[in-house]
Structure 1
Amino acid sequence: MTEARPERADAARNRRAILRATEELLSRHRPEQISMEQIAAAAGVGKGTVFHRFGSRMGLMVALMQERAYALEEAVRTGPPPLGPGAPPDERLIAFVDAIVDVVGRNKGLLAALGHAASSAGRPDLKGHEGDDGDGHPLHRFWHGHISALITARRPDLDGDLLAHILLGSLQSEPVLRMLERGEAERLAGSLRALIAGMFAAPSGEPASGEPAGNSV
């Protein structure tokens, strides 16, 4: 019983080392190009330790995405604006998309790998809670729900649910993943900002946000 506490500390240290090593490898390679042996060597632990903690390569990828995405979720819920509460919906959405691009850019192909696995049968570690409708990992559902809510808050006339799927789906496409591999994350973020600006522009014939409605010339 007295030995349990240091064992937990060792396990936590190993977990952090494995996740750091995985993210470092993912900055240069796609998930399918990385072996558990490479991760163990980079983390300075035995291969058995990696398998014991995470079960499989996909289990490790899920854990890494959870680690990074939960930090982003916490910033959205309680952090300072514009990512956190207090900023207008368009500013919050741009900040959120920038943050997602940063996460995906540092973990190339990880979102696509999770999305593919979530749609495959027999992947209980990527499913949500019982009774879920099959929309994938709960973290992905949080991202989608947050984007959809911000779109609806700014433009209730739009289909926020579908547009959120389109924005997130764009991050899983092969051309976008190749851009990230070439280090073009800022190009991607800039294009997504342009899409958001266009999406939030006032409908034809209506004044833009903040402009008084008056006679058009």
Structure 2
Amino acid sequence: MNYPIPARQRETLLEIKKSKFHARAGFVDSREAAMALLEEARTCYPDARHHCWAYVLGNPAMPSSAAMSDDGEPSGTAGKPILNVLQHKDVGDVMVIVSRYFGGIKLGAGGLVRAYSGAAQQVMESLEIKTQIALTTVSIDADFKHEQYLRHWAEQQNGQVIGCDYAQHVKITLALPHSALAELEALSGSLGLNVHDA
């Protein structure tokens, strides 16, 4: 299933009563990738008091995972508002980190919720998105003469060549969008290919 994902990282700044909220949004497809992005934010803003965050992994319609952190802010005033914004944006494999510099004026719980929501909303609105295309992996046994053609064909279908093994035939492993599978079946008949799930 195809779904929107961040095309590249974005960063915005929201200032409320002298507190600065640096919001960063980016693509993450695992908890490890999310923690690496968090580390990047901490390195960029080493003296920020809080680095609050939330992420949604997988298809936003049915995420495989979601998580959040208030990072020392009062419970429920930072991570949850950021996650709420993400859950209403229909973007998958996304993380938002808000690094806060305290400006000396307390915002109160309601003010913090509005500030973190606002910072997340602002960065998500500026985020460029692209479509994540779900790919299926297949292996094809073919004559050597068909290898270049198959590589070229896969590229035209927005697929990828994952691997190639050479024996009596060439065994080429491709990751292809679902839309290309019917055409591959037709090709296998005309070229005499042996196609099977990888």
Whether these two folds match at TM > 0.5 is no
Query: TM (normalized to structure 2)?
Result: 0.27
Q: Per residue, is there more helix in 1 or in 2? A: 1
Query: TM (normalized to structure 1)?
Result: 0.25
Q: Per residue, is there more strand in 1 or in 2? A: 2
| Larger RCO of the pair (alpha carbons < 8 Å, separation 6+) | 2
